[in-house]
Amino acid sequence: MSIGCRLRYAFVQPTPMIAMLNVHYSRFGDLERADYLVTSPSVPLESYRDDFGNWCTRMVAPAGDFTLSSDGIFRDAGFPDPVMPNAAQHAVQDLPFDTLVYLLGSRYCDTDLISDRAWQLFENTQSGWARVQAICDFVHRTVVFDYMQASATRTASQTLAGRTGVCRDFTHLAIALCRCMNIPARYCTGYLSDIGQPTPYPPGDFAAWMEVFLDGRWWVFDPRNNSPRIARILIARGRDAADVPLTQTFGPNTLQDFQVWTDQLT
């Protein structure tokens, strides 16, 4: 499948920026053609891995129009997200050390404000996979998707109170509820194809979902769509969206055009 994006900005002055727009290293072997980051006009690029292992590219965008783009060919096995209904929940004292950070509150997952509500809702659910699925079911039926209500500052508790948002809000709320129930959960962003979905397809966009740690490994859950999907292509992981901005600019700018595609190839 063809995957890629094109983001066009207008800058009033030379502006440093960081981009996370390349496929995650865990899926790099599935690229038939690498999704190299290209800028127009061309500027020097420096790449590094952040503390979560995500591939980041930094640059200084010149004043005026500036475009970031990537275009790759990705080979996906065509299987839906794996499901294991009997996956067990770990006791906190038995969790691996590197999962513990994903039990803590974070910028958008304000667990301290919804912990009591989480226990009221899910204390009596079966632990493990069933509990996570109950959380996803609750978020999916409680929150109304509304792209016009997107907000860069909305937290999990605000989503629970307002009951509206976009995929990142669904994900933040589900992550926070999982953490309140002592289940490590982390935020993921990337491409999500429409393969196997009914038409008409919505405009291309990046997607947010979560991974939870059960039975010794991380599993994908998607509270926004709440069903296994085909060709979910990871770009970055973190505690929440604050850790994985697709672009981070350090100065005023205007996003003038935004295109994302995941097109199946014959």
Give the tens place of pLDDT for each residue, 162-171: 999 999 999 9
**How is the chain split into domains, by residue range?**
2-77+246-263, 92-243
Nearest to 241 by CA among 219, 209, 217, 212: 209
Q: Please give the DSSP secondary-structure letter assigned to residue 30.
A: G
3-state secondary structure of 201: coil
Which residue matches tokens 């591939």?
A: 55
Q: Return the CA Rg of the chain.
A: 19
pLDDT of residue 262: 94
Cβ proximity of 237 and 188 under 8 Å = yes
Residue 127 tokens read as 């632990």
Residue 207 tokens read as 């997607």
* Strand 164-165 versus strand 144-145 pairing type: parallel
**Cα(first)–Cα(last) distance of the chain, in Å?**
8
Taking each helix axis from N to C end, the angle separating 167-180 and 111-122, rounded to the nearest 10 degrees, works out to: 70
pLDDT of residue 196: 86
* Overall CATH class of domain 92-243: alpha beta
When the pLDDT of each residue in the chain is averaged and rounded to a whole number, the result is 96
Mean pLDDT of 103-123: 98
Q: Is the dihedral of CA 155, 156, 157, 161 positive or negative?
A: positive
Q: Please give the DSSP secondary-structure letter assigned to residue 88.
A: P
C-alpha distances in angstroms, 138 versus 48, 83, 151, 156, 202?
A: 38, 18, 21, 13, 24
HSE-CB of 97 using CA atoms within 13 angstroms? 0
Nearest to 102 by CA among 210, 248, 264: 210
pLDDT of residue 266: 76
pLDDT digits (tens, 9 = 90+) for 28-79: 899 999 999 999 999 999 999 999 999 999 999 999 999 999 999 999 999 9
Nearest to 140 by CA among 222, 197, 206: 222
pTM for this predicted structure: 0.96
Mean pLDDT of 146-174: 95
According to CATH, the topology of domain 2-77+246-263 is Immunoglobulin-like (2.60.40)
Residue 5 tokens read as 């994006």
Size of the chain, expressed as the number of residues it contains: 266
The amino acid sitting at 234 is L
